[in-house]
Amino acid sequence: ELKVEQNPLFLSMQEGKNYTIYCNYSTTSDRLYWYRQDPGKSLESLFVLLSNGAVKQEGRLMASLDTKARLSTLHITAAVHDLSATYFCAVGNDMRFGAGTRLTVKP
Amino acid sequence: DTAVSQTPKYLVTQMGNDKSIKCEQNLGHDTMYWYKQDSKKFLKIMFSYNNKELIINETVPNRFSPKSPDKAHLNLHINSLELGDSAVYFCASSPAGWDTQYFGPGTRLTVL
């Protein structure tokens, strides 16, 4: 059974700093998704990564996929308060989700 | 114009009742989904429909039945509600299977 592990689960960082969220998964997959969820809100699709080596960037967020290592990263550059949210990865055709990373960006 | 809409937004009901949640998308997408988010914020896909055909049915109790009258609608009917069904249910759609998904606002179901 596919298992998806995100770390860290909680991340508190200062504005202006860089950090990376990791999404590891247990079986081969060439399909990975990143989502954002604000407290009490719905989900927003951030990135769809469909091949080994895929890299996508939007603003201060950049996602990459290494299917051989079964690892995706979500890199945050020069964090701002507006990025505070929970970030989920989901893997594979059956969309197995990680537990989420709750990010808080402090001034 | 709301892209993906769900009704109702909140649903409070007693154990044993039957209820439905409706979802509509006006994006012309071919694929629609239902997700469940429990009280610990854990997300799980329940169903996916592509052009009115079921293409995923995760290990969901058969008390849950998706119904898609046309490709713009995917409703979720739940029989004999249980306490453990309390959660937020999200509908989503995408242009094709496994493409970027657009989510509805969610329906918070509380079973008493």
CA distance B71 to B30: 6
- CATH class entry, domain B4-111: mainly beta
The answer to whether the Cβ–Cβ distance between B98 and A48 falls below 8 Å is yes
Report the pLDDT value the prediction gives residue A84, as an integer from 0 to 100.
97
Question: What is the identity of the amino acid at B58?
Answer: E
Mean pLDDT within B90-109: 91
Nearest CB to B58 within list A37, A86, A94? A94
First to last CA, chain B: 34
pLDDT (tens digit per residue) in A60-101 = 999 999 999 999 999 999 999 999 999 999 998 878 999 999
Q: What average pLDDT does chain B have?
A: 92
Q: Which fold has domain A4-106?
A: Immunoglobulin-like (2.60.40)
pLDDT (tens digit per residue) in A7-43 = 999 999 999 999 999 999 998 887 899 999 999 999 9
Report the pLDDT value the prediction gives residue A73, as an integer from 0 to 100.
98
Q: Do the beta carbons of residue B12 and residue B80 sit within 8 Å? A: no
- Name the phi and psi angles at A59, rounded to 5: 60, -125
The answer to whether the Cβ–Cβ distance between A45 and B103 falls below 8 Å is yes
- Tell whether B57 is within 8 A of chain A (Cβ): no
**Domains of chain A, residue spans:** 4-106
Omega into B105 within 30° of 0, i.e. cis? no
**Residue B52, pLDDT above cutoff 90:** no
